[in-house]
Structure 1
């Protein structure tokens, strides 16, 4: 028996979102039926909706879901009906990356989460008028009033947790925080540069303020975001409109450069400039994803003094461990992600898209 629900469907690349009645299959043994309360809107959703990634359309996106479990498959043990949950990416659980506690580097990550649009067996949990739609996005497809999610995508949170605030933990916030905790790992007195004061960059800033870093520099072109970065603890902010990033950072650091860069914009020119700000043994962490095939020229001799450039997926998070910790920090007021969020009803999803593209909103969260 199928479950009828309302979803925001992307009919074709660049067509925007259209509310439509769809049918969900009953949860399989390792799946969970979730009634959505909220879902964060992420730039990854926008890239897929625009056709920048080969996800099958028409389809249902959304990968920062938050809701209440309504039913579980026969093999599910982590959650039960009535539990409040956050949704994140899925993974196979069996490959070397998953076994070693790095499911964001699962051997099958791309197919299961980003480009497949279906379960591993080739079926989709969502259809319309008998025709399968692209679904299973990050194991969930959360832009709908209900979602059939992989058990590995589901993380239980406290019964009274504010889901409308916690929804972004499943991707954007986790990515920014993980970039600091798991890769940059600031040492006492070190200097950290964050390019982009969006949801990921500002989440990285929040994490950095709880680290021993001595200086945290945030870069953007939107003055209001730089002002917010200052309120959230940035020691320096740079408006890159009409300035050369590496030259400004050289002045701020008295020529030494920074110990780590977290690049969140996905802009190749910004990435190249960010790499040039690195001091000896510095690390550039690539978080923002430009279109496939993008290349950035780097002088090999510049890299020889111990400089490193590394990519990062979803904060290298093990979700069952990291998401509850992040939720506790939010509830304790130590990770004030509410400062980033603007809420929109599901019916205004296209307004939310327009606002985030225009820079009027940092983190849109849809409410159901």
Structure 2
């Protein structure tokens, strides 16, 4: 079958999604056609929807898909129809950073993940109105099918609910990977996570897996702080009620060994650096608007030997790290299901509103079954 009918969520104009019928082509060399079961809704989808990151429209977004392989293209190895898969970010596999085992910093990351088409300019998705920009993070998974690639299609075990697993492809692996891969938080250490959303709480859960002795969650919403304690935080700080830097220093003695910044607020980034103890490391994943500037006390940084680390996708190699996270979940050690609320694809605008208001930590969209 060369064309399949599907429903997709399309951004045609700034600020909203609309559900449309579309057609998707067959997989080409190196490509994989996946029947999408569910997809997480991430902050990055929303900043493209709002054109704070101005990508070409109309576009089908979605970059935390999970589903079942339908077809594989020429040259695809290790994947077959019927496999359960999680979809993650795309990378070339050829550049120096990919060859060094750091695909999140692929030299072709932007064209492969945000170019709106294949590298040769062709599109997999079309509607009656014409071409739909696609290939968002190499997948565009806000639809019943996605055309993805062997490199960003990760086979997972079959005994874990497939509709749950999509967020492991980006947000959850970012928080967990920052702790377990980027900063390599050791047992017995201290970590403070600034921002107790889905990414920050993933860092909290990962810190518990790592055996951190002191795990501090910082936020302004009491409900999120309560959940953080249930997921592994040993202490919580309400930044609306007290100075988080002073609180962290009080709880750790000289400051945290590690801090994790997930809010994207430059003022909070400064706090995350200030809250470090000697030789401490601050990992930053929160993304402010392009061109934003953050400041810090250079004397404090130099004299205490502090480190600031920018982190993309938790420094993950998805085909290795995602199955590890699935195993941790199956063992009861990484209960990220506590973050998730399900919506039908048709309710994507409500899911987005609930995410922005804080009602929902991690919306996951269930896809309609294709005809």
TM-score by length of 2: 0.96
The residue that corresponds to 1:180 in the other structure is 179
Greater Cα shift, 296-305 or 181-190: 181-190
Q: Secondary structure at the match of 2:165?
A: helix
1:55 pairs with 2:29: no
Q: Does 1:350 align with 2:349?
A: yes
Q: Counterpart of 1:195?
A: 194
Structure 1 gaps of 5+ residues are none
The aligned counterpart of 2:11 is 10
Choose the corresponding residue for 2:268, options 267, 270, 282.
Answer: 270
d(CA) in 1 for partners of 2:297 and 2:223?
35
- Partner Cα distance (2:226, 2:284) in 1: 24
Q: Deviations over 1:127-158 (max 9, x none)?
A: 22262222100100000011111111101112
Deviates more, 1:213-222 or 1:237-246: 237-246
Task: Indicate if the aligned counterparts of 2:351 and 2:363 stay in contact, CA closer than 8 A.
Answer: yes
CA distance in 2, matches of 1:363, 1:130: 32
- d(CA) in 1 for partners of 2:122 and 2:62? 18
Q: How much has 1:242 moved relative to structure 2? A: 4.1
Q: Deviations over 1:110-136 (max 9, x none)?
A: 2211x3111111122212226222210
User: Are 1:55 and 1:134, in contact at CA under 8 Å, matched by a contact in 2?
Assistant: no
Q: Tell me, yes or no, if structure 1 residue 210 matches structure 2 residue 206.
A: no
Instruction: Establish whether residue 111 from structure 1 lines up as the match of residue 111 from structure 2.
Output: yes
Give 2:312's aligned residue.
Answer: 313
Aligned length: 365
State the 1:78 CA deviation.
Answer: 2.0
Tell me by how many angstroms 1:183 deviates. Answer: 2.4
2:326 counterpart SS class: helix
* In 2, Cα distance between equivalents of 1:93 and 1:211: 29
| Contact persistence 2:209–2:334 (CA under 8 A) | no
State the distance in 2 between where 1:92 and 1:187 align: 31
1:77-131 Cα shifts (integer Å, max 9, x gaps) = 1211111111001100101111111111111112211x31111111222122262
Alignment-derived partner of residue 330 in structure 1: 329
**What is the CA RMSD across the aligned residues, in angstroms?**
1.2
Partner of 2:36: 36
Q: Which residue of 2 aligns with 1:136?
A: 135
Q: Distance in 2 between matches of 1:284 and 1:303?
A: 11
Select which of 275, 279, 293 maps to 1:281. 279
Residue by residue over 1:339-365, the C-alpha shift from the partner in whole angstroms, topping out at 9 and shown as x without a partner, is: 111011111111111111110111111
In 2, the alpha carbon distance for the partners of 1:332 and 1:258 equals: 29
- The whole-number CA distance in structure 1 between the counterparts of 2:24 and 2:77 is 22
Segments of structure 2 that go 5 or more residues without pairing to the other structure are: none
Structure 1 segments, 4+ long, off by >3 Å, are none
